[in-house]
């Protein structure tokens, strides 16, 4: 009996030690990141593996376009339908200093072109054109974005525009963004777009063979290679108020994870600290899971 009790005690100690060690390893994953807001979440059960300031208010910048794309896809019934890109929409995006996909006023584009233009090159003109096409205006479309956020339990999120341009009443948390991305990836069309690095648009007058749109992550694809997994996709964002931001998605040791690394210092001219953080966290996750 004494031996059996001793074995039970030892087993209990080992369980406690394992839990403590696991907690230490999780803290290490995010402790040295440049990103001020971090959430690493296991997909489907939404278990948070590691986090830093997960529920603190932050600005999402162009990670906003995850919601823009999801809400659009849930309404679109014909991706082959063509529409014209108005001059005033292109001018508005440029005047705001927003990132664009490169479409010109007068271009005829498909709805599919617009959706890929939102997600890959982060095109503001594509956001505005989709909003006008589906709901008549950006304001009406944003109302749907906020309804969707409420539906998903994003309790600390409010959108005031489709693009992520800075506004005090346009905010979220890293945890809310992780919840959004986890849900969005359940949509097959969204997942296909989110995991694409390039896309060829439909032919037009200026580009008879179409033109190639590149993901904002295309230039970093070599930095995101994992030893024991696959980096599958992501959406970057940046404003001076939000810092460098990234919502990303990877499969490590057979499991899928979403990761938010946001609020990193720097800009488009510095090292991509948000991307570097993601690479380090996913790599450490891989190494920890192997132990």
Q: Would you write out the chain's pLDDT as a tens digit for each of its 291 residues?
A: 556 666 665 555 544 443 333 444 555 667 789 999 999 999 989 999 999 999 999 999 999 999 999 999 999 999 999 999 999 999 999 999 999 999 999 999 999 999 999 999 999 999 999 999 999 999 999 999 999 999 999 999 999 999 999 999 999 999 999 999 999 999 999 999 999 999 999 998 878 899 999 999 999 988 888 888 899 999 999 999 999 999 999 999 899 999 999 999 999 999 999 999 999 999 999 887 555
Q: Note the pLDDT of residue 204.
A: 82
Tokens of 286: 């891989």
pTM value is 0.90
Nearest Cα neighbor of 81 from 130, 47, 25 is 130
Cα–Cα distances (Å) from 108 to 77, 78, 83, in that order, read 18, 15, 6
Residues 163/142, Cβ–Cβ less than 8 Å: no
Place of tokens 């296909």: 192
Rounded distance, CA 44 to CA 249, Å? 13
Q: Note the pLDDT of residue 31.
A: 72
Rounded distance, CA 152 to CA 133, Å? 25
Nearest Cα neighbor of 277 from 65, 22, 36 is 36
Residues 253/229, Cβ–Cβ less than 8 Å: yes
Q: Note the pLDDT of residue 26.
A: 55
Tokens of 275: 């991307």
């Amino acid at each position: 009996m004494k031996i059996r009790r001793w074995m039970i005690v030892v087993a209990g100690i080992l369980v406690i030690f394992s839990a403590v060690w696991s907690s230490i390893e999780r803290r290490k994953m995010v402790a040295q990141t440049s990103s001020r807001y971090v959430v690493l979440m296991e997909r489907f059960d939404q278990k948070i593996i590691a986090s830093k300031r997960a529920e603190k208010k932050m600005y999402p910048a162009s990670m906003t376009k995850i919601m823009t794309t999801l809400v659009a896809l849930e309404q679109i019934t014909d991706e082959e339908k063509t529409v014209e890109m108005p001059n005033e929409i292109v001018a508005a995006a440029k005047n705001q200093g927003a990132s664009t996909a490169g479409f010109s006023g007068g271009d005829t584009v498909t709805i599919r072109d617009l959706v890929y233009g939102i997600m890959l090159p982060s095109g503001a003109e594509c956001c505005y054109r989709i909003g006008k096409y589906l709901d008549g205006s950006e304001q009406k479309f944003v109302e749907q974005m906020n309804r969707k956020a409420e539906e998903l339990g994003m309790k600390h999120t409010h959108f005031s525009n489709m693009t992520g341009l800075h506004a005090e009443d346009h905010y979220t948390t890293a945890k809310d963004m992780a919840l959004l991305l986890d849900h969005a990836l359940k949509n097959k069309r969204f997942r296909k777009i989110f995991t694409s690095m390039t896309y060829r648009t439909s032919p037009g007058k200026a580009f008879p063979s179409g033109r190639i749109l590149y993901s904002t992550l295309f230039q970093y694809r070599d930095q995101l290679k994992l030893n024991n997994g696959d980096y599958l996709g992501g959406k970057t964002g940046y404003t001076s108020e939000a810092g460098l931001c990234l919502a990303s998605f990877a499969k490590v040791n057979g499991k899928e994870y979403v990761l938010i690394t946001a609020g990193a210092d720097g800009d488009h001219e510095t090292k991509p600290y948000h991307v570097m953080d993601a690479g380090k966290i996913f790599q450490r996750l891989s190494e920890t899971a192997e132990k």
